[in-house]
Structure 1
Amino acid sequence: MALTARIKRIFGNDALDWLDRSYLTDWIVVASFWILSELAGNLPVFERDFYVADPVINHPHKKSQIGGTLNHFIALLVPAAMVLAVGLLRLSFVTIHHGILALLAGRGMTRLFTNVLKNRVGRLRPDFLARCKWDEVVLKCTGKKSDVLDGRRSFPSGHSSAAFAGMTFLSFWLAGQTAAWCFHAPLPVASLRSSRLVRFCLTLFPLWWAIFVAVTRLEDYRHHKEDVITGAIIGALCSAICYLAFWPSPFSSRSFTTYEYGQPRLISSENDHRRRANDFELTRLEEDDMDV
């Protein structure tokens, strides 16, 4: 009890509000996303037929401008670092907990959908024939087996889905901290922080990075345009849903009036539910008395 009181004294009365059984369930669901996505990545790849004269899959095999490790590093650790920095600055465990939970949920869900589709669809990459190294004598691919197998996993783009998942979360989170996407929200008076355009442009930087990553996948002949578009939609949609599950909408003015800027959603306590129920019952009694 003494430790709990000390933590609340230092970090605020809501410092331990995230210690709830429902949040434990959320973490189990998030872990399931990541575990299932790893299993889905090892599913047998559908081996689609192809023609050696098909120009759509006859592009050169080039080195990626943005490597997979770098892309995943930026898409995951950059948003996490932003959340951690602001949480520590505010001395708010709740901000850190909800930010990391929403980020990992969106990234895990995106990864699960992407890996399942990649292996079940089996679409050939634009550089598939360069990987395949078709032999007219033995009538089969003679290229490196892992390269050929990866060449069958074009749809959707994993780079695009990962980048948009991480950067969409970061854009939503920054908008929630600054009210950049809600032009009716009140802002500080007569200060540099009052610039709505600066706030708005700040939230666009992560999305520009995600778009850049997606474009490089086309330039490197690793994906078709449909792969990139679908990957971007999957990442953005999953991340937006998971963000809104734990944070107020950055588009609504109510998010910046009923909540302080940047405050996440919290599960109502049992006392809150009782109070609301009592309020509702009293309201009905008062209405009945008025009718009488």
Structure 2
Amino acid sequence: MQARHNLLWHLLIDLPILLLVAAVCILLEVGAIPSRRSGFRCNDPDLSFPHTGDTISISLVAAVTVVVPLIIIWAIEAALHRDDEYTIKKNKLLASARDASLIYRDYIYGAIVNLAVLEVTKCVVGSPRPTFFDLCEPDKAATCNESEYVMSYTCTSSRYSRYLQIDASRSFPSAHTSLSIYCGLFLAWYLQRRAFSWHNRSVLIVPLVQILCIIYAVTCPLTRITDHRHHWWDVLVGAFMGFCSVLYTVLVLCKNFSQPSVVSTSDISSSDSNNHQAVRRLLSHEPRVAVP
């Protein structure tokens, strides 16, 4: 009954809230909700880079953030699952799905919180990207003088979509950086805490996966600078936000991946037999009263 009550709570309360926050993040991302646009200085060289696209697209980052942790967490929990007399006949993947789902739930919750803070910050700051002039082609850029600061302008570009024109004023902070560092460091930390508890583990496979996670967490932010999609301070702040999100998720939500010890039926049987023996010893040492 308690398990059913918790399930209803998650389905009727937690899930709608999570979907609502995710929907707001998507609306902010596509520009359906108006956001602030900062001004620019005429002929600013930091905003004059050509737009060449993304080495790592946001769709790829989203897919890695959502799918890869689910696969790794489920695989590790299935490998660590200890069968007993109650679950020996069950499929190991299904039996370990509950533990994996709890960790993955906390991971997704932390990712949604991180994304929500990122999107709100982007919309409040409205900082122009290094490719701002190329993406937006503001109407005032052709008539402003030298380093004049322009507050009000209209994008006139016909080469790029409306989304890219809106996105041209959403440089700070870097969402690619924050999400990639959040995902990569979370998985590396998880593997360190959970996968290294294997008794007969491979010596190299876990460190290799950890190295790949770290490489992803480092490479994605660097491409944002080399692609001229973000300023270096955008990437730095995004990395800080991703790191803080990892600390919050791992230490607060996941309790540093501390798992309760599994008590097998053999341990229970052994404990019961010890209790019975102790009771028999007490009864055998009771003084007997002679009946006249």
TM-score (norm 1): 0.67
User: Cα gap change, 1:26/1:87 in structure 2, threshold over 3 Å: closer, same or farther?
Assistant: farther
8 A Cα contact 1:83 1:95, kept in partner: no
8 A Cα contact 1:57 1:129, kept in partner: yes
For 2:246, the equivalent position in structure 1 comes to 239
Q: Residues 89-108 of structure 1: CA distance to partner in whole angstroms, max 9, x if unpaired?
A: 53313322212201211211
In 1, distance between residues paired with 2:8 and 2:246? 23
8 A Cα contact 1:61 1:130, kept in partner: yes
Q: Residues 169-225 of structure 1: CA distance to partner in whole angstroms, max 9, x if unpaired?
A: 21222122134xxxxxx874xx664x5x87556434212202101000100100011
For 1:222, the equivalent position in structure 2 comes to 229
8 A Cα contact 2:76 2:194, kept in partner: no
For 1:35, the equivalent position in structure 2 comes to 23
In 1, distance between residues paired with 2:27 and 2:116? 9
8 A Cα contact 1:132 1:141, kept in partner: yes
Amino acid at match of 1:82: I
User: Cα gap change, 1:17/1:87 in structure 2, threshold over 3 Å: closer, same or farther?
Assistant: farther
1:178 equivalent in alignment to 2:195:
yes
8 A Cα contact 1:106 1:235, kept in partner: no
For 1:55, the equivalent position in structure 2 comes to 45
1:122 equivalent in alignment to 2:118:
no
User: Among 167, 170, 184, which residue is 2:184 paired with?
Assistant: 167
Amino acid at match of 1:225: W
Aligned-partner SS, 1:238:
helix
User: Cα gap change, 1:165/1:59 in structure 2, threshold over 3 Å: closer, same or farther?
Assistant: same
Alignment of 1:60-79 (within 5 A): 60-79=50-69
Aligned-partner SS, 1:249:
helix
Alignment of 1:269-288 (within 5 A): none
Q: CA deviation at 1:129?
A: 0.9
Amino acid at match of 2:136: C
Q: CA deviation at 1:118?
A: 0.7
User: Cα gap change, 1:147/1:96 in structure 2, threshold over 3 Å: closer, same or farther?
Assistant: same
User: Cα gap change, 1:32/1:236 in structure 2, threshold over 3 Å: closer, same or farther?
Assistant: farther
User: Cα gap change, 1:18/1:167 in structure 2, threshold over 3 Å: closer, same or farther?
Assistant: farther
User: Cα gap change, 1:177/1:127 in structure 2, threshold over 3 Å: closer, same or farther?
Assistant: same
For 1:152, the equivalent position in structure 2 comes to 169
TM-score (norm 2): 0.67
Name stretches of at least 5 consecutive residues in structure 1 with no aligned partner.
2-15, 180-185, 261-292
For 1:142, the equivalent position in structure 2 comes to 156
Cα RMSD (Å): 3.1
User: Cα gap change, 1:74/1:113 in structure 2, threshold over 3 Å: closer, same or farther?
Assistant: same
User: Cα gap change, 1:96/1:19 in structure 2, threshold over 3 Å: closer, same or farther?
Assistant: farther
Q: CA deviation at 1:226?
A: 1.1
Q: What's the % identity of the aligned pairs?
A: 23
In 1, distance between residues paired with 2:193 and 2:20? 27
In 1, distance between residues paired with 2:249 and 2:156? 43
For 1:132, the equivalent position in structure 2 comes to 136
User: Among 214, 238, 260, which residue is 1:207 paired with?
Assistant: 214
Q: CA deviation at 1:140?
A: 4.8
User: Cα gap change, 1:137/1:246 in structure 2, threshold over 3 Å: closer, same or farther?
Assistant: closer
Amino acid at match of 1:86: I
In 1, distance between residues paired with 2:67 and 2:108? 10
Q: CA deviation at 1:38?
A: 3.1
Name stretches of at least 5 consecutive residues in structure 2 with no aligned partner.
82-94, 145-152, 263-292
Amino acid at match of 2:22: W
